Amino acid sequence: MTTILLVTSSPRGTEGLSTRFATEIAEGLKARSGGTITVRDLATNPLQHIAPAYINGRAIPSESRTPEQAEAVRLAEALVDELRHADTVVIGSSMINFGPSSLLKAWFDHIIWPGVTFGYGEDGPKGLLSNKKIYLVTATGGVFSAGDYAPFDFQTGYLRHLLGFIGLTDVELIRVEGTVFGPDAANAAIATTEAQVREVLERAA
């Protein structure tokens, strides 16, 4: 049975297109595999940004941690466990000021953990997670996949890099873009993404 982790992060909540399409993919995969979905909704339950309690607490033995440090590390451990136990991960990311939202950045800041999700060897850093399929759903008002604004897409490349850094390199990108150019353009963009989602689920069947 497939375990699916769904991570959503749009500040618009359920109205966000990245959330909508990421959820559709996760639910479609569940219907085809008979699996289960764990939802990490970062808009409804935002993570605090990492602080000294986490940075210092993760570097010392558990018995030496203060209560604040222990709580910060427990949260990160829970997030890493969700990711480690998932066979498939679906991430919804809305572009905010040319990059991912701080909600999603906070999640990555908790799970990118030296000695836990990545390590250092003779050849440099090595991701410690593997054998997971990642579906990355990005939403942008403008068009960033090509054209004049492509150089300013600091979302998709950055997220791919973070995933690859911890060993998750099997990433399929689903874009919804160009929704700010009026109702007709928005409807066309949504229709294009709907078709892509159907293709993704047909291949996964």
Instruction: Note whether 54 and 111 are within 8 A (CB).
Output: no
Estimate the share of the chain in helix, then strand, then coil, as percent rounded to the nearest 5.
Answer: 45, 25, 30
Task: For tokens 């699916």, name the residue.
Answer: 4
> By CB neighbour count within 10 A (0-12 exposed, 13-18 middle, 19+ buried), where does 43 fall?
buried
Instruction: Note whether 200 and 172 are within 8 A (CB).
Output: yes
| Residue 94 marked in a binding site | no
The residue type of 12 is R
Q: Rg of the chain over CA atoms, in angstroms?
A: 18
Distances (CA, A) of 97 to 155, 179, 180, 202: 9, 16, 14, 33
Residue positions forming the annotated binding site: 10
Residue positions forming the annotated binding site for FMN: 10
